[in-house]
Each structure stands twice: as C-alpha cells, then as structure tokens.
Structure 1
Amino acid sequence: MRYIVTFFWAFLLTQMVNFILNSLAGGGPLNVYSGILLAVIISLTVFILDVIMKDDSKAVQDEH
C-alpha cells in the first residue's frame, strides 16, 4: 500500500510542478507524459533507497 501512496504523491506533485513550470514558460500545451515519467523515476528512486536502507539496518541489528 505504501508503494501506491508513494506513486500517488509523486504523480500529484510532479503534475503540479509541471503545470507551474509550463505556465511560467508561456503557457503552451501541457505535456502530461513528462510529469508521469518524472513520477515513475521518483517512485523508483524511493523504492530503491528503501531496499538499500532496510538491508543496512538489518545488518546492524544482527551484530547486536
């Protein structure tokens, strides 16, 4: 469930940033796909960092 929520917030926030930057650039046609691509990249980065952080914390707990 947390992965779905992470993607939802990444999608929502990147679409807002995409809209604002598009408006500042002159307000041409909005490219939704660039926001979706950025949301996927952000979500994958968060998932990978989550896996990396969990492995390190388990190793520390096993040593004690």
Structure 2
Amino acid sequence: MKYLAVLFWSIILLQMINFVLNSLNGGGALNYVTPIFGAIAFTIIIVLLDMVIKPKKHDTKEQH
C-alpha cells in the first residue's frame, strides 16, 4: 500500500513539474506519458532502495 502512495504522489508531482516547465517554455501540447514513466521509474527505485536498506530480522536480535 505504501508503494501505491509513492506512485500516486510521484505521478501528481511529476505532472505538476511537467506543467510548470511546459508553461515556462511557452505553452504548447502537454506530454502526459513522460511524467508517468518517470513516476513508475521513481517508484521502482524507491522499492529497490527499501529492499536494500531494510534490516534483516535476525540481524536485529544479535545487536545489543
């Protein structure tokens, strides 16, 4: 569920960044696909980082 929240907010924020940068560039047609792919890539990176950083269960018992 937390990864769906990451995906949702990354899509929202990247669409806003896309809109602002498109407006600064003089308008034109908005590209909706590129921010969605960026949000999916960002979510995959977050999932991988969470798997790498998360401590193993048996490691926490050995530490004092």
Provide the TM-score with structure 1 as the length reference.
0.87
Q: Please show how residues 1-64 of structure 1 align to structure 2 within 5 Å.
A: 1-54=1-54, 57-58=55-56, 60-64=59-63
Segments of structure 1 that go 5 or more residues without pairing to the other structure are none
Alpha-carbon offset, residue 23 of structure 1: 0.5
- The one-letter amino acid of 2:15's match is Q
Tell me how many residue pairs correspond in the alignment: 62
Q: Percent identity?
A: 40
The CA deviation string for residues 23-62 of structure 1, in whole angstroms up to 9 with x for no partner, is 11110100000110110111111111000011xx226415
Report the Cα distance in structure 1 between the residues aligned to 2:59 and 2:17, rounded to whole angstroms. Answer: 38
Shift of 1:63: 3.4
